């Protein structure tokens, strides 16, 4: 059974640019959540999608957005990048919404903004 | 409010020592779920265990064991005979219903050869 696939693994972008990250969940998992991880702030929840609908949202500015497709694959987009957006972005898939089923995480996308 | 506290920021032990990682949680719900995840240097978070609030039985899996005590709101994790490969950051997390996981700050475990 294939795991959660995140692409790309590494990205370097310039301030002001935008970026799109992709996540393919485990087959059969309909929930996809996104997290930002930085040394100073730890793991911070961005948003969760289930059946193409955003079900939960964290406390991030509108520059951070996401979507989910009918095959459960998800993308997140960050516009007008800032230096502080440099982080490891983790995608997690789950059987249902919320965290009670536990997550399977991808390897993450490490974004560096210069 | 829900909260997860991992008071140990970093632990360093010599290989083959036993080590316990502490996790204390706060919740008002009677139904909740607790988790432990491991994050090795590669970055991927690896699921270790899920425990629901109605199951206070301790769990043992090889060298890993978990002690869940509702009376003290703790869900501690012990590694017996630690190995260098156990070096990682370990996260404890709490879930109530459809809400997102509440994560602890993590404990960095260093196993020295």
**pLDDT, tens only, B20-69:** 999 999 999 899 999 999 999 988 899 999 999 988 888 888 999 999 99
- For residue range A10-36, list pLDDT tens digits in order: 999 999 999 999 999 999 999 999 999
**Distance (Å) from the alpha carbon of B82 to chain A's nearest alpha carbon:** 24
Q: Which phi and psi (to 5°) does residue B56 adopt?
A: -95, 10
Q: In the predicted model, what is the mean pLDDT of residues A35-54? A: 92
Contact A103 B45 (CB under 8 A): yes
Report the residue of chain B nearest A98, measured CA to CA.
B98
pLDDT band of A1, cuts 50, 70, 90: low
∠ CA A20-B48-B85, rounded to 5°: 90
Name chain B contacts of A104, Cβ cutoff 8 Å: 47
The token duo for B60 is: 């043992």
Q: Is B85 helix (H, G, I), strand (E, B) or coil?
A: helix
| B79 three-class SS | strand
ω before A59 within 30° of 0 (cis)? no
């Amino acid at each position: 059974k294939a795991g959660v696939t995140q692409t790309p693994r590494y990205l370097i972008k310039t301030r002001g640019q935008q970026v799109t990250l992709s996540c393919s969940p485990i087959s059969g998992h309909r929930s996809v959540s996104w997290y930002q991880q930085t040394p100073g702030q730890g793991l911070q929840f961005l948003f969760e999608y289930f059946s193409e609908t955003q079900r939960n949202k964290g406390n991030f500015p509108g520059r951070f957005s996401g979507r989910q497709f009918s095959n459960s694959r998800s993308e997140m987009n960050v516009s007008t990048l800032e230096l502080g957006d440099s982080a490891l972005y983790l995608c997690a898939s789950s059987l249902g919404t919320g965290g009670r089923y536990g997550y399977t995480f991808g390897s993450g996308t490490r974004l560096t903004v210069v | 409010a829900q909260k997860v506290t991992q008071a140990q920021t970093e632990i360093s032990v010599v290989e083959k020592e036993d080590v316990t990682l502490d996790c204390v949680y706060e919740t008002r719900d009677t139904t909740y779920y607790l988790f432990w995840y491991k994050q090795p240097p590669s970055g991927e978070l690896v699921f270790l265990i899920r425990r629901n609030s109605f199951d206070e039985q301790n769990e043992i899996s090889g060298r890993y064991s978990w002690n869940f005590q509702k009376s003290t709101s703790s869900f501690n994790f012990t590694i017996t005979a630690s190995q260098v490969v156990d070096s990682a950051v370990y996260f404890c997390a709490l879930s109530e219903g459809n809400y997102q996981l509440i994560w602890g700050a993590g404990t960095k475990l260093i196993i020295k050869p």
